Amino acid sequence: MTRRRALRAGRLGRRARSGDSITGSERSPRPSGPPVLRTRSGPLVLDRVALVGILNATPDSFSDGGRHLDPGRAAAAAAEMVAEGAAMLDVGAESTRPGAPPVPADEERRRLLPVLRAVRAAVRVPISVDTSKATIVRLALEEGADVVNDVSAGRFDPALLPLCAEQGVPVVLMHMQGTPVTMQLDPRYADVVAEVAAFLAERAGAARAAGVAADAIVVDPGIGFGKTVAHNCALLARLDLVASLGYPVLVGVSRKGFIGQLLGERPTNERLLGTAAAVALAVARGARLVRVHDVGAMRDVARVAEAVVGA
């Protein structure tokens, strides 16, 4: 971590421990009322928690690898997710599970575009494309994608953020320590929440400097991306610090490894209730979007959690 980022992380950490939120230049200027993501498929008003359904067009994702490689099956799954309450769908063709090797752009394109076309024809909700490559972003936008979800927050491809600005599309900026190949080898932080918040503030600033509108930025703390179980728990417990940056917060905890570890090495297909607990806690701490596999079940969790928070 650079000295500048370390100093900012220290400031954020002190604020987090004292209960203060982030203010001034580190916050996004926001109009009154709920956040609104303006997409080509229409506005996504975040007056309540938005469920983002996961569709992986990959053979090797940790939970559903191979299930949605066929365009017809992907389209059917997309329609089912929307019927269950998904406000947006997230389609990706490169696994970012721990240890996953990078996928060449040609292979990512070959997997992604047929699935994206089929899903776009099947649903009207906004679709985000999960990629870190500007070339894939451009192709995906031509095929009907609305939002860019970049696990590198614009670091892996310097052309990505300017392209999002040029096209006028929202972008999700995620924190990850290292790369998918290295991120879980030995993740370390002095204060994980403060450092993640400082990173996201810096990357949001980079996006705005590239021309992305403040109200087109979403931040994601990157649960499971270069974090231990303790790091993930701390991020959920203090997610309100990330939310105080002023950008909508997306959280992805669905079926993740830390849940399996907390529950005695449960396999991915036995993590539904653990996921429900993590989703409820994320909503209680300020998440406005939750990225999930089990849309119907997590819709109920999110609705109850936000009702309690708003009581």
Q: Which residues are catalytic?
A: 256, 291
How far apart (Å, rounded) are the C-alpha atoms in residues 103 and 112?
12
Residue/partner pairs of 42-45 with CB below 8 Å, 24 or more apart: 42/124, 42/126, 44/87, 44/88, 44/126
Q: Which residue has the tokens 């399996």?
A: 260
Cα 157 from chain centre: 18
Q: Give the chain's length.
A: 311
Q: Which residue has the tokens 């506005």?
A: 43
- The CA-atom distances, in angstroms, between 79 and each of 90, 120, 243 are 13, 10, 31
Q: Which residue has the tokens 């972003």?
A: 137
Secondary structure of residue 150 in the 3-state scheme:
strand
CA dihedral 74, 126, 300, 200 (to 10 degrees): 110
CA dihedral 19, 305, 236, 248 (to 10 degrees): -80
Cα 122 from chain centre: 23
Strand duo 50-56 + 86-92: pairing: parallel
Q: Which helix (H) or strand (E) holds 90?
A: strand 86-92
Nearest CA to 140 out of 97, 175, 93 is that of 93
Tokens representing 273?
Answer: 């209730």
